[in-house]
Amino acid sequence: MNSFFVGDKLKPSFLVEIITKQKKINIYKPDNYSKNETFYEKYSLGKLVIQTKYDTIIFVKKPVPYKKNYLFVPEIIFKIKNKYFIVSKTITPLHI
C-alpha cells in the first residue's frame, strides 16, 4: 500500500491510500473528531470519502518526500470505469 497526501502542501486536503495488488483506492479527509490526532492519524482516522476500485492512476507531477515518512503530490487523476476524477484540493470529475 502506498499513501499520498494530496492538495496544498501546507495543508493537504486528502490522504489517498493506493492498494496496488487489489487496484483499490481509499481517500480520506480530516474531520472534527480526528482534528487533535497526530498528522497522519488526523487523515487516516478522519472521514472516508471514497473507497473504490480503479483502472488507471496518472500522477500529474512526480510524488515528493513530505514530512519525513510520507509522500506529497498536488494532484492525482484516477480512471474509474469510463470516467476520470481529479483529486487535488477537491475531487472533481474530468469531462473528456
E strand spans, 8-75: 12-19, 24-29, 47-53, 56-59, 64-66, 70-73
d(CA 75, CA 72): 9
pLDDT tens digits for 2-58? 999 999 999 999 999 999 999 999 999 999 999 889 999 999 999 999 999 999 999
d(CA 23, CA 18): 7
Fill in the amino acid letter for 12. P
What is the value of pTM for the model shown? Answer: 0.91
